[in-house]
Structure 1
Amino acid sequence: MSVSQMATSRLYKLVESLCSKRNVNLPVELGKCLYEPVENGVELYLAHFLLDSQHSEYTSPIARIIFNVNVQTWCFYVPNYQGEELKWVPYEKLPYSVSLEALITELESDPQACFWV
């Protein structure tokens, strides 16, 4: 069993809104928020640009939000590098929630200053 299409659509809409709000009038040197769908969720990235470029030089992973069908909750992960290998680990302050909005709010407000640094 996977996450419902309605829940996935809601996730995409909330993340798209987050990225749009974050990117508006943001200087290019601070990077742009973008996301890509993954199975049962999304991964968010920060795209880094050269000052004179309209194309991203590289991206950095920011967060991953995945629906865990076994426990029917949204899980919130942050990137952790072990050497050069990327591992997604639970976000300590709010590792999961039944409320998708709570995770998006946490990501948007960034109280730990770990997403949009």
Structure 2
Amino acid sequence: MVLSELEQHQINKLALQVCDSRNHNVPVEIAKVDFVAIENGVEFLEACFKLDSTQCDYRLLVAKVVRQDGQWRLLLAQRDQHQVFERWYSYPDTLSNQLHLLMKEVELDPKGLIW
């Protein structure tokens, strides 16, 4: 399901706020958070840097918020022991269908599953 222009603008704005909040006063060595818009939501990435560089070394997909079957869902990336992406899985707790609550969950990561 393709998002309307208004929905895409709203989710992009919320994702930018999540990234700004997570990146505030975080040293580059720890990693920075970024997002990319996709057809039905946004994907969050963790940009990792070498200790002596200000240029991103690599990015890891960590989570995405998407609209599926008329509902907003939070999906997390599952990786193997070599940090290679395997698949997306649903966030363990069923949160309400409210986009703002899902974005707060990504931002705060109370269970330590995302970042």
Separation (CA, whole Å) in 2 of partners of 1:30 and 1:81: 19
Deviation track 1:44-82 (CA, whole Å, cap 9, x = no partner) reads: 0110101221111111211011111x3x21111001136
Indicate the RMSD between aligned Cα atoms, in angstroms.
1.7
Q: CA, structure 1 residues 51+14, in 2 after alignment: closer, same or farther (shift >3 Å)?
A: same
Structure 2 length as normaliser, TM-score? 0.88
Structure 1 length as normaliser, TM-score? 0.86
Aligned partner of 2:75: which letter? Answer: Y
Identity %: 31
Separation (CA, whole Å) in 1 of partners of 2:79 and 2:47: 18
1:28-107 to 2 correspondences below 5 Å = 28-68=28-68, 70=69, 72-81=70-79, 84-94=84-94, 97-107=96-106
Aligned partner of 1:5: which letter? Answer: E
Count of aligned pairs: 113
Aligned partner of 1:108: which letter? Answer: E
Q: Which stretches of structure 1, 4 residues or longer, exceed 2 Å deviation after superposition?
A: 81-86
User: What's the secondary structure of 1:78's corresponding residue?
Assistant: strand
Separation (CA, whole Å) in 1 of partners of 2:4 and 2:42: 14
Q: CA, structure 1 residues 34+108, in 2 after alignment: closer, same or farther (shift >3 Å)?
A: same
Structure 1, unmatched stretches of 5+, are: none
Q: Which of 1 and 2 has higher RCO (CA within 8 Å, sep 6+)?
A: 2
Alignment check: 8 A CA contact 1:73 1:97 kept: no
User: What's the secondary structure of 1:20's corresponding residue?
Assistant: helix
Structure 2, unmatched stretches of 5+, are: none
